[in-house]
Amino acid sequence: MCGIVGYIGKKQAAPILLEALKKLEYRGYDSAGLAVRSDGGEVNVIKTQGRLSKLCDRTQNGTAVEGTCGIGHTRWATHGEPSEENAHPHKCMDGTVTVVHNGILENYRELREKLVRNGYTFYTQTDTEVIADLLDYYYKKYKAGPVDTIARFMMRARGSYALAVLFKDCPDDIYVARKDSPMIIGAGRGEYFIASDVPAILKYTKRVYYIENGEMARIGRESVEFYNIDREPVEKHCVRVKMDENAAEKGGYEHFMIKEIHEQPKAVELTLNSYLNGEYVDFSDCKLTDKFLQTDEIVIVACGSAYHVGVVIQYVVEKLARIPVRVELASEFRYRDPVLGKNALVVAISQSGETADTLAAVREAKERGVRTLAIVNVRGSSIAREADRTIYTFAGPEIAVATTKAYSTQLAVGYLLALEWARIEGRLDDVQCAAYIEELRSLPQKIEEILQNKTPIQKFSADHPTMKDVFMIGRGIDYAICMEGALKLKEVSYVHTEAYAAGELKHGTISLIEEGTLVVGVLTQRGVSEKTASNLEEVRSRGAFIVTVAFEGDKIPVEANGAYTVPATDELFAASLIVVPLQLFAYYVSLQRGLDVDKPRNLAKSVTVE
């Protein structure tokens, strides 16, 4: 959510800032801006509402803005409507301080009132303008320099933030600070880069510093210094990022979403192979011992698609290991005073490792003395660093807002954990475990087969571009699959879609079924497929258009208007295959409707604010 970039060195800053911001477009935004310090010391601010291309046009791709030090931002509106006036960067009243900000300042009204009493006036509705003026207020009142000024702000501010700040009196420095919003500093030769995510600076450097919560940094042209909130120096080491710059490019595909859908076989295979040793699961590189995994209850906390992964894993773990599992929306977890046993294990799932609500849930669990295990895709992310143990997925950079390959790799890790818990509990012997692992190893090839058979999905999408309401129904794991399929269609095509446990449809929702309503029935759980078929018959008799999705070779006990099959696998692993045609369906419907597939309206890739 929002993107911050910065540059200081010997090159012209604006072209570098614009190029870096392009790499962060996937985070979601509604306006963009730059602040570049000229050689004469003036800070020039250029802002536009809308796409980054407008800012590129206004600045002639950065060539019209001179200066070797600057900061940039793509804004996703929180306080104040999307507008050029509310776009970042923001200056304080007299221009002494210029700020870009990710996050939300929760006590901005209180601080704004304080500043008004001290003679400040405001030209926007944003909380960020309050930050600029508050920094100016402390800077002038205490006259102790930028580090002291930012520390005072951090002690007074409530909420989340990543800040990049220019002080008029410090022409050779950029200052940064963070709390609960991600930020990294990239180190080049005689130059430094600032970004809220690694892909923004991969073109320029792979050597980065991670700033921890409550830390600040002064970034000069030749050096960087780190401080804690008490203004004390902090020692940090540069880390080399193992990420391929080309992995964040489209590679000939029209959109990132379809590229990432096609990358799923490789991503799932790489994730599985990273934690399989012959016929055994091996998490030793993650320092996961039997003692750590042994638990009386598992609590999965996640948001969005990661939550849907959790629902699938709940079914699989309870079936195989017979350990009680509950899946919690991370955004609700800490606010309802959850009951956690002393031997509970909280499992947090997040692609970015920066999801604000999931990070807060991890911290809540740790404060209660409960062990935490993270499943994340981004090394060095906040959740990865704060959880007791971390399992990384190997999806690689995921740029499209709608997740696909991250979801699939999270499922893969979840399956392996389920097998480990079943082994620890004595529920599976070596022969049974080996059989499941053999089936897991077959999943990448089966996903590839589905991708080679996408023509029927393309045709169906082309024939139904104007649908208004869609229902996806199933039972057990099929219901969990429907949850993800419905979210994908809503996210990228803006079609109202609901997922329902098939048996719940008649408890009120069936009243919404009318002539032509599309109902997708998922039928992979053979023990309940007849019951789901009966629910499909109920809606068909009311005029619904029925499409079924099932395993090849299975007899479907319902007359459908359309049917799509995928290679058969063990019922427990059905989500890994069935989700693929649902992802493709969402993608092609979005294309038919002429929408921005990779950057759906109002959505951000990484939700780093509550």
| C-alpha span between 99 and 90 (Å, rounded) | 5
Give the range among 7-16, 28-37, 359-368, 470-479 with minimum mean pLDDT: 28-37
Mean pLDDT within 421-446:
96
Q: Give me the pLDDT at residue 197, please.
A: 84
pLDDT tier for residue 1 given thresholds of 50, 70 and 90: low
Output the pLDDT for position 420.
97
Beta-sheet strand order (sheet of 325-329)? 325-329, 297-302, 344-350, 371-376, 389-392
**pLDDT above 60: residue 261:** yes
Confidence of residue 248 (pLDDT cuts 50, 70, 90): low
For residue 556, what pLDDT is reported? Answer: 84
Residue 476 to residue 511: CA distance in whole angstroms: 23
Residue 606 has pLDDT above 70, yes or no: no
pLDDT for res 596: 87
Q: Tell me, what's the pLDDT at 24?
A: 83
- Would you say residue 251 has pLDDT above 90? no
Pairing mode, strands 371-376 and 389-392:
parallel
pLDDT above 90 (res 204): yes
Choosing from 2, 69, 92, 303, which is the catalytic residue?
Answer: 2
Sheet of 233-234: strand order equals 90-91, 97-105, 159-167, 174-179, 215-219, 224-227, 233-234
Choose which CATH entry (3.40.50.300, 3.40.710.10, 3.60.20.10, 3.40.1080.10) describes domain 3-247.
Answer: 3.60.20.10
Does the annotation mark 2 as catalytic? yes
State residue 374's pLDDT score: 98
Report pLDDT digits (tens) over 107-130.
Answer: 999 999 999 999 999 999 889 999
Residues 394-423 have pLDDT tens digits of: 998 888 889 999 999 999 999 999 999 999
How high is the pLDDT of residue 401?
Answer: 87
Residue 188 · residue 146 · CB < 8 Å: no
Query: Is pLDDT larger for residue 2 or for residue 585?
Result: 585
Mean pLDDT across the stretch 204-217? 92
Q: What is the pLDDT of residue 245?
A: 63
For 594, list phi and psi in degrees, rounded to 5.
70, 35
Q: What is the mean pLDDT of residues 91-103?
A: 93
- Terminal Cα-to-Cα distance of the chain (whole angstroms): 11
Q: In the chain, pLDDT over 70 holds for what percent of residues? A: 97
pLDDT score of 242: 76
Catalytic residue among 206, 446, 490, 605: 605
Task: Please choose, from the candidates 103, 104, 96, 99, the residue with its C-alpha nearest in 3D space to the C-alpha of residue 88.
Answer: 99
Residue 278's pLDDT is what? Answer: 87
What average pLDDT does range 183-211 have in this prediction? Answer: 91
Q: Which residues contact 252 (CB under 8 A, 6 or more apart)?
A: none
Give CATH superfamily name and number for 455-592: Glucose-6-phosphate isomerase like protein; domain 1 (3.40.50.10490)
- What is the pLDDT of the chain when averaged over all its residues? 91
DSSP string over 135-187 = HHHHHHHH---HHHHHHHHHHH--EEEEEEEEETT-TT-EEEEEEBS--EEEE
Structure confidence at residue 253 as a pLDDT band (50, 70, 90): confident
What digits encode the pLDDT tens for the residues 22-45? Answer: 888 766 678 899 999 988 888 999
Averaged pLDDT for residues 323-345: 93
DSSP string, 85-110: TTSSPEE-TTSSEEEEEEEEETTHHH
Q: Does 238 qualify as catalytic in the annotation?
A: no
Q: Which residues touch 144 (CB under 8 Å, ≥6 apart)?
A: none
Give yes or no on whether 258-447 and 455-592 have one common fold.
yes
Please write the tens of the pLDDT for every residue from 526-576: 999 999 988 898 888 888 899 999 999 998 878 888 999 999 999 999 999
pLDDT digits (tens, 9 = 90+) for 504-518: 887 877 878 888 889
The predicted structure's pLDDT at residue 607: 60
User: Torsion angle, CA of 203/218/230/381, rounded to 10 degrees?
Assistant: 0
User: Which of 240-254, 279-293, 390-404 is the least confident region?
Assistant: 240-254
Q: Is the pLDDT of residue 144 over 70?
A: yes
DSSP string for residues in 421-464: HHHHTT---HHHHHHHHHHHHHHHHHHHHHHTT-HHHHHHHHH-
> Is CATH 3.40.50.10490 the classification given to domain 258-447?
yes
Q: How many CB atoms lie within 10 A of CB 352?
A: 25
Dump pLDDT digits (tens) for 217-241.
999 999 999 999 999 999 999 988 8
**Coil/strand/helix, residue 216:** strand
Most confident of 154-158, 538-542, 603-607: 154-158
Q: Locate the domains of the chain by residue range.
A: 3-247, 258-447, 455-592
pLDDT the model gives residue 604: 60
Band (pLDDT 50/70/90 cuts) for residue 75 is confident
